[in-house]
A and B are shown apart, each in its own frame.
Chain A
Amino acid sequence: MSGYAADVAALARKDLKLELRARDTLPAMLLFVLSTLVVFHFALPEGSGDEAAYGLLWVAIVFTALLGLARAWVPEREHGVLDGLVLATSDRSAIWLGKAIATFAFLAAAELVALPAFALFFQPLDAAAIAGVALANVGICAVGTLLAAMAAASRTRELILPLLFLPLTIPLVVGGVGSSISAEAGDYLLFLALYDGVFAVLSWATFEYVVVE
């Protein structure tokens, strides 16, 4: 394993270990996404159609991700650990990538419960919709991890993160809903993959400037 990949693996593994110990992110995400779907189930009038239900699924996914991202850098804020990681890693983007992978794992775990619950309350998702969710997860975690790091350095982090993150998820929601309901799902999946590629490269390249004063 190359040095960079070893750094990323060590950092992601550390985040998973921290979550297994503290259990303060994943249970909250699971509870949130399930309760949101239950509320939507009762809130949506009968005969509203698939489009409305898929739209609500994406609202639930985006806000569940936001919940996870808001907690993503909490362990690093305590005792100033981010400074230690910044000094110890030979390429600082490894910190971002390790965190993004861990956030992806938490979001995917929440969706492993949320998608069957959605199928139970509304209707099952087809393969294109599931591919849309997987691709959107990559974009959410890539850009969200960077924005969460920026917000973590601010005193008003609870306010700043949603203000920065939600506008940037609009293309993901468009692509995700499109891949779920459109006859040309492939085009929307391609759009999501393009978004992932562009924002992953941007986040990777700019992380260094976010963590140095």
Chain B
Amino acid sequence: MIRAEGLEKRYGRKRVLRGVDLAVGRGELLLVTGPNGSGKTTLLRVCAGLALPSAGSLEVEVDRSRLGYLGHEALLYRELTALENLDLYGRLYRVPERRERIGMLLERFGLWDARGERVGSYSRGMTQRLALCRVLLHDPELVILDEPYTALDADAAELLDRELAGLVEGRAILVSTHDPARVEPLATGRLALA
């Protein structure tokens, strides 16, 4: 579903990625690890199409509309409510039965009661849970998660463990994390960036 060979990314004279090879198929989860500054976020942004590679080849078989991406930031409007944010993304992704799907996700991630509150008033953990709702809203085939456990409390982290286990079937997943032990049992491959 996603294959890269000799992937490089430079910002000016600084080379952030050098010669990265990866291949992730349907039903596989690639765990991306590495110290701060090793290029994990850049690699995931390139795979998501948010940054263009400077060299190497990248093939992504799925359409952009079937990709779910969680970055370091929530990609949500602070002045809009949780419902309004998900409704906007649902419209743009043309999610069928949008309202039902949004309601189901907000329930699942424990945000239904806070659905009418502005995201700017959310705690960091609530914002991260809402960001995960956004990622899953359009039932993506390729899921890219950059540090998904950030700011999640123990219950929410366990919920994400269960979600990831359910997601692997039929999808390709790339996850970067500083806590590899958490994702290791689900991983079918591992990429360590230096």
- Give the number of residue pairs across the A-B interface with Cβ within 8 Å: 77
Contact B74 A87 (CB under 8 A): no
Contact A80 B88 (CB under 8 A): no
Chain B proximity of A209: nearest CB distance (Å): 10
Contact A84 B134 (CB under 8 A): yes
Give the CA-CA distance A155 to B29 in the complex, in Å. 36
Q: Mark A79-94, 1 if CB is under 8 A from B, else 0.
A: 1110111111110000
Residues of A within 8 A of B119 (CB): 79
Among the 9-residue stretches A15-23, A41-49, A140-148, the one with 4 or more Cβ atoms under 8 Å from chain B is A15-23
Contact A81 B76 (CB under 8 A): yes
Question: Which of B71, B92, B93 contacts A83, CB < 8 Å?
Answer: B71
Contact A212 B74 (CB under 8 A): no
Given contacts A79-B73, A80-B73, A88-B93, 7 further A-B contacts (CB under 8 A): A10-B91, A18-B80, A22-B79, A79-B77, A87-B67, A89-B92, A213-B50
For this complex, into which size category does the number of interface residues on chain B fall? 20 to 34
Q: Mark B35-71, 1 if CB is under 8 A from A, else 0.
A: 0000000000100111110000000000011010101
Q: Mark A55-87, 1 if CB is under 8 A from B, else 0.
A: 000000000000000000001001111011111
CB-based nearest A residue for B92: A88
Q: Is B193 part of the contact surface with A, judged by Cβ < 8 Å?
A: no
